[in-house]
């Protein structure tokens, strides 16, 4: 099912969206450079070249800024459609070939990691001292787990998982390997290219999850 096409926004709405993006981009830069705790609303406003009151009016507080940053970076869009309802994820679930399913998951995980950058590290750091951020971190991890659980269930129904590998364990493996922290470590710290990471992730998931006789099906 295709995602609904929204009418083009008017001039005022476009201006408001541009301001929102400036604030989010400014916060992203400052969170990565200075950390969540050291970044103030005033600093974000200055970086975005907007009034402090504008930041408060649009977002309310710093937690809301980080929460929205994560939400739009994960799906790559401003709307509220969750990942599992988007065409790119649904294409993974529709794919009949288990190996291709994992290759598509690796591609999507790489794209998400590229967009998120170090935001997961920012969130994890903030969670250590802020209970509300700790709850946001927990919810982010849980949402990712539920998405991967759907794929594990799809593989299990096809009989594609390794013999004796439970669906729950397969989900745990995907959750651990296809992880934004791993993406950050290999691409940002070890300087892998996104292409290297995507291929490695697809290979790791295939080796860890699929039965040895599960081969890609020929395309007609």
Q: Mean per-residue pLDDT for 64-85?
A: 88
Domain map of the chain by residue range? 11-60, 75-209
Note every long-range contact of 33-42, with CB atoms under 8 Å and residues 24 or more positions apart, other chains counting. 35/122, 35/125, 36/62, 36/66, 36/122, 36/123, 36/125, 36/126, 36/133, 37/125, 37/126, 37/129
Fold exhibited by the domain 75-209 = Tetracycline Repressor; domain 2 (1.10.357)
Q: Mean per-residue pLDDT for 23-50?
A: 96
pLDDT exceeds 50 at position 218:
no
Give pLDDT tens digits for 190-211: 999 999 999 999 999 999 999 9
Confidence band for 9, pLDDT divided at 50, 70 and 90 = low
Q: Mean per-residue pLDDT for 13-31?
A: 94
Query: For position 219, what pLDDT does the model report?
Result: 44
Fold exhibited by the domain 11-60 = Arc Repressor Mutant, subunit A (1.10.10)
pTM reported for the whole predicted model: 0.86
Query: For position 2, what pLDDT does the model report?
Result: 52
Domain pair 11-60 / 75-209, same fold: no
Contacts of 93 (CB under 8 A, 6+ apart): 101, 150, 151, 154
Give pLDDT tens digits for 151-182: 999 999 999 999 999 999 999 999 999 999 99
pLDDT exceeds 90 at position 47:
yes
pLDDT exceeds 90 at position 110:
yes
Element (H, E) at 198: helix 194-209
């Amino acid at each position: 099912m295709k995602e609904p096409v929204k009418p083009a926004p008017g001039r005022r709405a476009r201006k408001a969206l541009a301001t929102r993006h400036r604030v989010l981009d400014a916060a992203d830069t400052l969170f990565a450079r200075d950390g969540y705790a050291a970044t103030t609303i005033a600093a974000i406003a200055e970086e975005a070249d907007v009034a402090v009151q504008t930041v408060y009016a649009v977002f309310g507080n710093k937690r809301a800024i980080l929460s929205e940053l994560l939400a739009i970076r994960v799906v790559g869009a401003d709307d509220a459609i969750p990942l599992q309802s988007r065409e790119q994820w649904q294409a993974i679930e529709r794919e009949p070939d288990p190996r291709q399913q994992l290759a598509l998951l690796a591609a999507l995980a790489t794209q998400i990691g590229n967009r998120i950058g170090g935001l997961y590290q920012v969130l994890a750091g903030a969670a250590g001292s802020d209970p509300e951020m700790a709850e946001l971190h927990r919810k982010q991890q849980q949402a990712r787990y539920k998405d991967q659980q759907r794929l594990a269930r799809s593989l299990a129904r096809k009989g594609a998982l390794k013999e004796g590998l439970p669906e729950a364990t397969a989900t745990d493996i995907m959750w651990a390997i296809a992880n934004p922290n791993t993406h950050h470590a290999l691409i940002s710290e070890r300087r892998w290219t996104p292409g290297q990471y995507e291929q490695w992730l697809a290979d790791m998931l295939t080796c860890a999850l699929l039965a040895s006789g599960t081969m890609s099906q020929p395309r007609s």
